[in-house]
Chain A
Amino acid sequence: MSDRAPGRTFMATYIVRRILIVIPTLFAVSILSFAFVRLIPGDPATVMLGERARPADVEKFKEQMGLNQPLYVQYIRYMEQVLQGNLGTSIVTRVPVIDQLAYRLPATIEAIFFALLIGILVGVVTGIVAALNRNTLIDTIANLIALTGVSIPIFWLALIMIYFFAVNLKIVPPGGRIAADITVDRITGFYLIDTLLMGRLDYFGSAIRHMILPAVVLSTTVMPQIMRLTRASMLEVLRADYIRTARAKGLRQGSVIFKHTLRNALLPVITVIGLQIGSLLGGAILTENAFSWTGMGSWFYGAISARDYPVLQTAIMFNAIIFVVMTMLVDISYAFIDPRIRYK
């Protein structure tokens, strides 16, 4: 296997093949999401018109929205639009879905970015500490925290945090992306960037303060996994021969841990972080709702209760695309990290 040329060819074939698989996957996802959305009992007409809906109104509404067409016609029409870059118009607000997406995506990316940052920092550090203090009280506590993190329902945690830090201690705001009386210019959609572009440090401060609770709560969806994986991976590497060699060479503890152990131990952690983006998106649904954070999650949540088909569809498709793409990237990165995969 020392010949590099075949390896590179295999690698290229592997990547191309891996990317091509994405196409039918997404196609299947589009059909499934279309079907699932319409399988939810209750149609948007009834939900929108509520208690006052009379049959004639409902029929009229369905006709206007094209909901009385056979499903396959609706699907074909939908896909035609999507392939032309038109994601439809929200049934509830009559605003193009693409406009809403452009507005909500940055909010979620901001939240996920900070949640991931906190999750990685805290998860990796506690993982290392736990591994180094294996089977001590510290290890037990770290494990306990991780377990609790996995088990606590996120909306409950959010509410407790709101009451403790925002209602009682009043050290952070309870919800929203920025103070209500601030209107941020729409430049990039990222409040943390736009407030700086506006040259308003006070606005930026408000945005940061509003970010704290949601990011911390959302980070609990990934932190435990990162912590446990770091710990396990550290322990495995610490047992490796080359670590013993390093120690035998008389290297200092710090050097052994950070240079030799951590670098190797983090490889699997990094790939797992990629997959965690998916659970962050899932966690964002409840977190955003709890903090009235106007991102993808609360958009999705609202669309479910309103049966806003075009929005729901886009949200599902979008999450699926992120999942599929992340999985693909992880698979490909495995191929780089683990040469055995390329040759299968």
Chain B
Amino acid sequence: MSSKKTLVTRRKFLTLAGVSAAAGLAAACAPATPQPAAAPTTAPEAPAAPAVEQTLIIGRGGDSVALDPAIVTDGESARVCEAIYDCLVKLEGASTKPVPWLAESWQTQDSKVWDFKLRAGVKFHDGEPLTAQAVKWNFDRWQNPDNPFRYPSQKYEYWDTEMSEIVDSTEVVDELTFRITLKEPTVLILPKLALFNFGIASPKAVEAQGESYATQAGTPVGTGRFKFESWVPNDKITVVRNDDWWGSKVTLPYTQMPKLTKIIWRSIPDNNTRFAEFQAGTLDQADIAQTDLVTLEGNPDYVFTVTPSTSVGYIAFNHAVPPFDKLEVRKAWAHAVNWDALIETFYSKYAKRATCFQPPAILGHNPNIKAYEYNPDLAKELLAQAGLPDGFETDFWYVPVIRSYFPDSKALSEAMAADLAKVGIRLNLKTEDWGAYLSDRRDGKFPVWALGWGSDNGDPDNFIGYHFIWNDPKKPNVEDGYNNPKLQELLREGRIVSDPAEREKIYQQAEQIVHDDVARIPIAWPANVAVDRSYVKGRKQWVFRDQYENFYIEK
């Protein structure tokens, strides 16, 4: 859904933690002995069931595609699914540490066979009980292409990419014990299970509704904090609080009952209209373009929450197209532009100059790398070394849409072109429709272009790995013609190693190679900025997880 102008990039709201991220994992999984559920660490909160109605109205750029988490990949579907469904495992608040959720505990002897003990007494919104059979029913549907409850129109993309390679089989051990057997021992299964896509749906509901399950014509049924109420296509989706939610009956962190009684997501595709509605007070929260945020700064009616960047805007070269096959030329480009000035002018104040490819919040970010300094003389020298003392002329493609990583790609490109002209690099600025842009770029039709990336889950395999691993390691990638075997090797290793510290080192080396090769020039890391009307309280600095349980209205 990245074509939409929505500013919640695909999956800012997704759960998955890094498929490794950080110490949390090690802590959660290191012992190969039976592991008890996390002990209660907070005093049980009195089930918050205020008599008052608390409705939160959220304005967003597009409608959900469907509310069946197994078959969707877009952020607008994810946001709603997270309210309706629960996964076996959840990520702890601000961190990426997996904590028990529908599974109250798990144990494994060898990290290959995992037994998940389900919570007793959990009910789906339709009243059906959550059992190991019900969980297996879900896994069967995700895993088996011949399952009768899969339809040709449905793609199980997340199972296919995240799980199919590691999960071997599943079985029901007893009424409340569900076993997953992996192909190889790995602890990465836990954060993967926390992906919103693996939320458990009511088998009865899916069977009854068939292909229309959880589409605009159907009803999604999970075990989550909120129950589906209605969906007016392209207009709004309404959920109401599930007062029987299992979480309110246990005393675990993050299981407090939400104070909100109702959430309404309104689809307002036009950025200006959404912003106007937010100002008019008809929206309590809204996805606002960073460039519009300035207008609201200092206004006591709004509260800003800034969380660390999880995305990057960059310039990419096609290494197969001369003169970009020469390292000196790419380097010259990097040094010829006053990037700091560009970022100050064309980004909101929440953005930072990128020093390497991944922002600091992503594992493997390399703090030792220094950003390419602004040095036109050096740039000229490098061009001369490349045999191009008079520079050269090239087409440059800029992003035709507004992204947080390129708030105004055209203006930035013009300024960049002016800097480059001073060292003799002459740009013909070009762009085209977003859909065509993406596919032409992928087909290797651009010599040099602008684009960016936002992390889905905080994991480096989904960040630097996504950009530089190619399915055939021997052949350069069509898109950018770049192939450094050492980099390929490192990034593939990063997928296997599970020790976070070791993994971090691997990705830091990869960062260094990308920097030394000037494979791409990272420009900016835009921060994630959320803005609420000031009567909406409770937002925390969580990046990869929903937080509907935190919000409440205090007018």
Residues on A close to B: CB < 8 A? 40-44, 46-48, 50-53, 55-58, 60-61, 64, 89, 92-95, 99-100, 103, 159, 162-163, 166-167, 170, 173-177, 180-181, 183, 289-292, 294, 298-299, 301-302, 305-307
Contact = CB atoms under 8 A, between A and B. Distances in A.
B80 interface: no
B42 interface: no
Nearest to A91: B153
Contacts of A166: 276, 280
Contacts of A61: 155
Given A46-B438, A64-B155, A163-B276, 8 more contacts: A53-B442, A58-B442, A95-B217, A166-B276, A166-B280, A167-B276, A174-B276, A181-B264
Contacts of A53: 438-439, 442
A172 B263 CA distance: 23
A167 B279 contact: yes
Interface string B12-29: 000000000000000000
Interface in B210-233: 215-217, 229-230, 232-233
A294 B232 contact: yes
A173 B282 contact: yes
B273 interface: yes
A99 B215 CA distance: 12
B65 interface: yes
B331 interface: no
A46 B270 contact: no
Q: Which residue of B153, B215, B230, B439 has the most chain A CB atoms within 10 A of its CB atom?
A: B439
A176 B276 contact: no
B215 A94 contact: yes
B144 interface: no
A50 B269 contact: no
Contact of A42 (B10, B155, B277, B433): B433
A183 B232 contact: yes
B233 A100 contact: yes
Given A176-B266, A292-B270, A93 B216 contact: yes
A93 B64 CA distance: 8
Contacts, number: 152
Given A46-B439, A47-B438, A294 B234 contact: yes
Chain B: interface size category:
35 or more
Given A42-B433, A64-B152, A51 B453 contact: yes
A160 to B, nearest CB: 10
A42 B401 CA distance: 14
Contact of B436 (A41, A52, A175): A41
Nearest to A95: B216
B238 interface: yes
B2 interface: yes
A183 B230 contact: yes
B491 to A, nearest CB: 15
Contacts of B433: 40-42
B329 interface: no
A302 B235 CA distance: 12
B269 A48 contact: no
A56 B471 CA distance: 11
Contacts of B10: 50-52
B197 interface: no
A334 to B, nearest CB: 39
B72 to A, nearest CB: 11
Interface in B409-465: 432-439, 442, 451-453
A46 B216 contact: no
B153 A94 contact: yes
B268 interface: yes
Interface string B247-279: 000000000000000101011111011101101
Contacts of A177: 235
A92 to B, nearest CB: 6
Contact of B1 (A48, A60, A180, A301): A48
Given A47-B3, A50-B438, A298-B269, A173 B232 contact: no
A43 B264 contact: no
B282 A180 contact: yes
A113 B550 CA distance: 44
27 contacts: A42-B436, A43-B435, A43-B439, A46-B436, A51-B438, A51-B452, A52-B2, A57-B157, A60-B155, A64-B153, A89-B153, A93-B63, A93-B65, A94-B65, A94-B153, A95-B215, A162-B276, A167-B276, A173-B280, A173-B282, A174-B280, A180-B57, A291-B273, A292-B273, A294-B232, A294-B233, A299-B234
A42 B279 CA distance: 35
Contacts of A302: 234, 269
Contact of B4 (A51, A94, A305): A305
Contact of A181 (B66, B235, B262, B453): B262
A95 B233 contact: yes
A312 to B, nearest CB: 13
